[in-house]
């Protein structure tokens, strides 16, 4: 029979062998996972999905580069202005646009009906002013100071400024589609029972730029969208 020393050597050899087998099994599992991930990536690309990690919210340095080199935002403010005004300009992951002095305030003086398919100019009155007063539970249209040119692989969404939101003033802007350009028409709803002020040449909404993983098949420009290259406050079109 083997002595104690021989038994110890045998036990150590068995432990080494078991450890080696465990390492080999782990290596095979890792190789299988890498192979599965590679296959999934290949399938996604083949399906036109690409690498979804390429999608995301675009940061300040990208916005600055596109504004200065591609005229994506004109005029462009390279920093956030906020001393004594509602903030506007470049922010961390977006751009706070300003409202111009052009306003169309909705009124029922002429008992007009608001019809998106047959919009009547009797529905509003025009005002050019630094401070627009929206009547209680009423509505106004305005436009951005800035003219936007949206890249063909980018979608832009808009969110109202918290300063106005806390006063019951809602800013509504539909997405800026890939390839679109123009002044952005702004919609202000005064949800309060009191008159509400909108300040021209100050911030009213933040635009967030979202990059797609690949360019879309048909851009807004390519399909000749009805609000392409709009200037001023643009009314509904059919």
> Along the chain (238 residues), what's the average pLDDT of each consecutive run of 10 residues?
60 67 68 54 46 73 97 98 96 97 86 82 91 95 98 96 96 95 97 97 98 91 93 89
Residue 14 lies in a domain: yes
Residue 109 lies in a domain: yes
Residues 7 and 17: beta-carbon distance below 8 Å: no
**Are 131 and 16 contained in the same domain?**
no
Residues 180 and 131: beta-carbon distance below 8 Å: no
CATH no. for residue 57?
2.70.40.10
What is the predicted pLDDT for the residue at 49? 44
Q: Which residues contact 204 (CB under 8 A, 6 or more apart)?
A: 86, 97, 98, 99, 142, 144, 160, 161, 164, 171, 186, 188, 198
Residue 204 lies in a domain: yes
What is the value of pTM for the model shown? 0.75
Tally the domains of the chain: 2
Q: Which domain holds residue 73?
A: 53-211
Handedness of CA 102, 108, 109, 112 (dihedral sign): positive
What is the predicted pLDDT for the residue at 15? 67
Residue 172 lies in a domain: yes
Q: Is 187 a catalytic residue?
A: yes
From 93, 105, 89, 106, select the one nearest 201 (Cα to Cα): 89
Residue 226 lies in a domain: no
**Are 82 and 106 contained in the same domain?**
yes
From 23, 51, 121, 187, active-site residue: 187
Residue 62 lies in a domain: yes
**Are 125 and 26 contained in the same domain?**
no
**Are 190 and 96 contained in the same domain?**
yes
Residue 104 lies in a domain: yes
**Are 69 and 134 contained in the same domain?**
yes
**Are 42 and 66 contained in the same domain?**
no
What is the predicted pLDDT for the residue at 18? 67
């Amino acid at each position: 029979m083997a002595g104690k020393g021989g038994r110890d050597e045998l036990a150590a050899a068995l432990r080494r062998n078991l450890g080696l087998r465990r390492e080999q099994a782990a290596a095979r599992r890792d190789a299988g996972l890498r192979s599965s991930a590679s296959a999934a990536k290949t399938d996604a690309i083949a399906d036109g999905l690409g690498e979804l990690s390429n999608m995301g919210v675009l940061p300040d340095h990208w916005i600055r580069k596109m504004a200065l080199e591609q005229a994506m935002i004109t005029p462009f403010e390279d920093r956030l202005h906020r001393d004594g005004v509602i903030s506007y300009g470049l922010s961390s992951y977006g751009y706070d646009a300003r409202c111009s002095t052009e306003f169309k305030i909705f009124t029922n003086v002429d008992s007009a009906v608001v019809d998106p398919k047959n919009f009547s100019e009797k529905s509003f009155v025009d005002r050019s002013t630094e401070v627009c007063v929206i009547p209680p539970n009423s509505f106004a249209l305005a436009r951005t100071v800035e003219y936007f040119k949206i890249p063909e692989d980018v979608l832009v969404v808009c969110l109202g400024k918290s300063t106005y939101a806390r006063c019951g003033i809602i800013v509504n802007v539909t997405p800026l589609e890939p390839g679109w350009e123009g002044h952005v028409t702004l919609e202000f709803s005064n949800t309060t029972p009191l008159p509400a002020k909108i300040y021209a040449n100050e911030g009213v909404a933040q635009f967030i730029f979202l990059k797609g993983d690949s360019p879309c098949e048909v851009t807004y420009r390519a399909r000749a969208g009805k609000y392409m290259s709009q200037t001023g406050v643009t009314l509904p079109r059919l």
